[in-house]
Amino acid sequence: MSTPQLPGDIEAFRASARAFIETTLPALPSKSEIDSDDRPSISLFTERAAELAAVGAARQWRAAKFDAGFGWLSGPVAYGGAGLPEEYERHYAAVELGYDVPPEDSFATGLEGLGQTILQHGSDHLKELLLRRIFRGDLITCLLFSEPGAGSDLASVRTKAVREGGGDWVVNGQKVWSSRTHYADLGLLLARTGTEDERGRGITAFLVDIDSPGLQVRPLVEMTGDAGFNEIFLDGVRIPDDRRLGDLGGGWAIYLAIMAASRDALARSRRRGGRGGLAAVASAERVAGVLQRLGKQDVPTLRQDWARLYIHYKVNQLTSERLAAEWSEPNAAAAARAMGKLALSDAMSAAAQLVAQALGPRILADTGEIDSFDWQPFLLQTPAFHIGGGTDQIMRNLIAERGLGLPR
């Protein structure tokens, strides 16, 4: 199917995007049909049940957007993209913020990381096979990276892939802390094809179907009571060699590309700041609403902490925009992405501490009051933000070495 021709003029393009959204959305399930809770919890991660319930509407919206030409505006026409400059992605995102579109968190791994990595490192076969399906939402993807003994030190992965006589690869091992795997179709797997002494040089990346025989997904229950993550067991899982992504032993380069794309996506989410951006989950304005409803907006210490939070968000937003515009050299750009991720983590923690101080014991029990128990998931999930996508310590090392040129 050919990609529809979109207007080249920016204003005409934005008008075309608005017309598409306004004529398409009425046919899709409304937000109230997906989530009818009058008091939704404040959460960084969508609850497992709500996530599963929203996947169908998200797939339908993603397919409609792709078929209309808006699903991959900066992508190559040969693989279903519109072939337009990156700025058109930003213009479309700005238009979409004004509408109550189904959330597309389910596709984040594919759209922000894996799709771009396949385009950069994949064979022609993989590009033809997967890119259109990923960006249309036909395939939901996940990452199979971390292991019980290889979290921050991913170079020590032990999941083993052995090739049988020049044919398929047979994989045995375990992965952990994988999100979306319980409903994903495709996973990016890092497995050891060399010796453990080779560290990152002995790792290869593969694309594995989640419904493959021998692959088992089990939920991991968190302290919030939800199970947004999974552990995965691989027992004799067979993967054809044409599903290998990149060179033999080139898995570390794939990992770095995915992490860079993930951090860039976080920075873009923080810059957007509006509905759909992570910064909106606990924005300064939302926290101010909590203080006002509690009648604590004039408590001096809370006012001071709120002012610091507002300044933190604003300075980080402006800094992120400046770095994105000025730091184009690869090492500097990587440092800028790390700064964005680190700054967002710090802002989330500051917001959680302020809300917890204002609510006091009410954050621990559902008293029926608005804001009370609603914020508990956010408070409990915030520490994960300092770990996922690279720990704070790794981010600081990356900034020091690549941004400031300091020695290891």
Phi/psi of residue 287, each to 5°?
Answer: -65, -40
pLDDT at position 152, please?
A: 65
Q: What is the pTM of this model?
A: 0.76
CB–CB of 143/109 below 8 Å? yes
Answer with the residue of higher pLDDT: 52 or 251.
Answer: 251
What is the structure's pLDDT at 33? Answer: 38
Compare 153 and 377 and report the one with higher pLDDT: 377
Pair 231, 265 in one domain: no
Is the same domain home to 333 and 307? yes
Q: Which of 100-114, 123-137, 153-167 has the lowest mean pLDDT?
A: 100-114
Locus of tokens 């054809």: 240
User: What's the CATH number where 321 sits?
Assistant: 1.20.140.10
User: Furthest-apart CA pair in the chain: how many Å?
Assistant: 73
Alpha carbon distance 5, 352 (integer Å): 46
Is pLDDT of 29 > 60? no
Mean pLDDT score, 32-52: 56
Residue 196 lies in a domain: yes
Mean pLDDT of 282-308: 91
Per-residue confidence (pLDDT) for residue 407, from 0 to 100: 86
pLDDT reading at 338 higher than 60: yes
Task: Kindly state whether residue 4 falls inside one of the protein's structural domains.
Answer: no
Residue 342, pLDDT score: 83
Between the CA of residue 230 and those of 110, 143, 172, 196, what are the distances in Å?
A: 18, 11, 17, 25
- When comparing pLDDT for 373 and 213, which is higher? 213
Dihedrals φ, ψ of 316, to 5°? -65, -40
**Who has greater pLDDT, 76 or 282?**
76
Quote the domain boundaries for residue 89.
10-136
Provide the pLDDT for residue 328.
58
The Cα–Cα gap between 288 and 271 comes to 20
Report the pLDDT value the prediction gives residue 270, as an integer from 0 to 100: 45
User: What is the pLDDT confidence band of residue 83, given thresholds at 50, 70 and 90?
Assistant: very high
pLDDT at position 31 is: 42
Q: Are residues 177 and 131 in the same domain?
A: no
Q: What percent of the chain has pLDDT over 70?
A: 84
Domain contains 60: yes
- CATH number, domain containing residue 175: 2.40.110.10
Going by pLDDT thresholds of 50, 70 and 90, the confidence category of residue 34 is very low
Residue 75, SS3 per DSSP: coil
The residue among 249, 277, 298 that closes a domain is 249
Residue with tokens 């290889």: 150
Residue 122 DSSP symbol: -
Between residues 357 and 151, which one has the greater pLDDT?
A: 357
What is the chain's mean pLDDT, rounded? 83
Q: Are residues 132 and 38 in the same domain?
A: yes
Asked if residue 390 and residue 272 are part of one domain, the reply reads yes
217 lies in the same domain as 292:
no
Residues 259 and 399 in one domain: yes
Last residue in a domain, options 249, 275, 302 = 249
**Domain presence at residue 221:** yes
* Residue 210: per-residue pLDDT: 96
CATH of the domain at 36: 1.10.540.10
Q: Is 117 in the same domain as 214? A: no
Q: Which of 184, 214, 249 is the last residue before a domain boundary?
A: 249
Per-residue pLDDT at 1: 59
Q: Which of 142-146, 206-210, 259-263, 281-285 has the lowest mean pLDDT?
A: 259-263
Q: In whole angstroms, give the CA distance from residue 55 to residue 58.
A: 5
Query: What is the Cα–Cα distance from 387 to 329, expressed in whole angstroms?
Result: 26
- Is residue 32 domain-resident? yes
Q: What does the pLDDT average to over 28-43?
A: 48
Task: Name which residue leads in pLDDT, 214 or 26.
Answer: 214
Classified as helix, coil or strand, 386 is coil
Mean pLDDT over 73-80 rounds to 92
Is pLDDT at 19 greater than 90 in this prediction? yes
Check residues 228 and 193 and name the one with the higher pLDDT: 193
- The verdict on 235 and 317 lying in the same domain is no
| pLDDT tens per residue, range 152-200 | 677 789 999 999 988 899 999 999 988 888 889 999 999 999 888 888 7
Residue 30: pLDDT band with limits 50, 70, 90: very low
**Mean pLDDT across 355-381:** 83
Q: Tokens standing for 62? A: 């993603």
Same domain, 44 and 159: no
CB 95 within 8 A of CB 141: no
Mean pLDDT of the 299-322 span: 85
3-class DSSP state for residue 37? coil
pLDDT over 50 at 138, yes or no: yes
Work out how many domains the chain is built from and give that number: 3
Distance, CA of 24 to CA of 282 (rounded, Å): 30
Query: Which string of DSSP letters, residue by residue, matches 256-294?
Result: HHHHHHHHHHHHHHHHH-STTSGGGTT-HHHHHHHHHHH
For the cut 70, the answer to whether the pLDDT of residue 2 exceeds it is no
State residue 54's pLDDT score. 78
